[in-house]
Amino acid sequence: MFAPVYSITPAIAKALMSIEADRQTVAGLPIDVTVLAKLRETARLVSTHYSTQIEGNRLTQRQVQEAVAGAHIPGKERDELEVRHHYRALEEVEKLAANGRTPTEKEIQRIHGLVMTGRPKPTPYRDGQNVIRDSRTRGIVYMPPEARAVPGLMADLARWIRLRMNDGDLPAPMIAGLAHYQFATIHPYYDGNGRTARLLANFILHAAGYGLKGIYSLDEYYARNLDAYYTALNVGPSHNYHLGRAEADVTGFLDYFCHGMADAFASVKVQAAAAAERGVEDRSESLRKVDPRQRRLLELFRKQETVTAEDMALHLRLSHRTVVGLCRDWLKSGFLELHDPSRKRRSYQLGRAFKALMT
């Protein structure tokens, strides 16, 4: 089984204590649901921008927001798709974690499928050797394990994540950091490895209670310290996985990862405290019961009291047929109520239990 070599240095211990203190502080702050929803949306857009930028995406942060909203940016069609796919993958990670799921191998493959195609279909691992080269010199920076070793290594990683999250012996930030490192080291795909590794770390953190109300982004830290990010990942006596990389000491990457989390959490604590001063009641617990699609519909209900299935399909960018099915489920759960059952053309309003989220 994956058995990472590392030490918990005083610097890492200090970062972990800072992370925990800020997590507890933010969890106790009363943040108005409207403000919280906006902060979460901003965090997702920032994560999408920086995670794709690391891989060479050319869109600005404003263009990322426009592309996610459905705008067309001439000459950058591939970049548009990339950010839309990444945004969908972020939503899926948030949804899975909110439902109490922990990463399985199949779910990791589905996340990669969303990153690459926008569809949650598990993707097969690479069937050949891939090599990471320096973009300037073209020299080999890293040679991942042979393709035949990848399925076993990925199954082993998924099993290690599950066991560590269940036994509770290792702090969640360390599990996330080590999983991030190992996924990037295995490099199971020809493309999309970095984005998927970062999403996997987010998945673990959210599932372990370190989601921090969903209003932080580690990707900005990576992007602003990109040389340090790659240096931290590049450990061991050789660039070849089979010649020492697999047994390398990863303390340096853990140090980098935990300090990045500490920086991000400290920044969110400041944001959250300011947001709490503007709000009067903490409804974040209620908001956790609302899935990502329902949260997006709250934005629509802020503009109009009643909506039709056509309105919802347009707002969510889903087919009318899909939304009709969702409406049936939402009526049963009480999220929606029929506005006027006597009318042939149905319209909906928020259920009573959820209207409090709007005030």
Lowest mean pLDDT among 132-146, 175-189, 273-287, 298-312: 273-287
Q: Domain for residue 28, yes or no?
A: yes
How many whole angstroms separate alpha carbon 294 and alpha carbon 333? 12
Same domain as 138, residue 108: yes
Q: How many residues does the chain have?
A: 359
What's the Cα-to-Cα distance from 316 to each of 151, 277, 309, 357, rounded to whole Å?
Answer: 36, 31, 10, 19
Name the token pair of 49: 């921008």
Q: Give the chain's domain count.
A: 2
Can you give the residue range of the structural domain that contains 129? 10-278
How many whole angstroms separate alpha carbon 262 and alpha carbon 23? 10
Same domain as 342, residue 222: no
pLDDT, residue 32, reads 75
* Helical pair 193-207 and 77-98, crossing angle rounded to 10 deg: 20
The CATH code of the domain that includes 174 is: 1.10.3290.10
Name the token pair of 159: 């099993």
Contacts of 29 (CB under 8 A, 6+ apart): 272, 273, 275, 276, 282
How many whole angstroms separate alpha carbon 207 and alpha carbon 52? 23
Helix (H) or strand (E) holding 139: none
Q: Which of 248, 278, 308 is the last residue of a domain?
A: 278
Question: Tokens 């956790």 sit at which residue?
Answer: 288
The CATH code of the domain that includes 337 is: 1.10.10.10
Same domain as 174, residue 56: yes
The pLDDT tens digits of the residues spanning 47-70 come to 999 999 999 999 999 999 999 988
Same domain as 228, residue 318: no
Q: Domain for residue 284, yes or no?
A: no
Q: Report pTM.
A: 0.78
Name the token pair of 197: 């590794």
Q: Domain for residue 1, yes or no?
A: no
Same domain as 143, residue 212: yes
pLDDT, residue 49, reads 94
Instruction: Return the half-sphere exposure (C-beta side, CA atoms, 13 A cut-off) of residue 9.
Output: 14
Q: Which of 251, 278, 305 is the last residue of a domain?
A: 278
Name the token pair of 26: 């933010």
Q: Which residue has the higher pLDDT, 286 or 39?
A: 39
Same domain as 153, residue 39: yes
- The pLDDT mean for the chain works out to 88
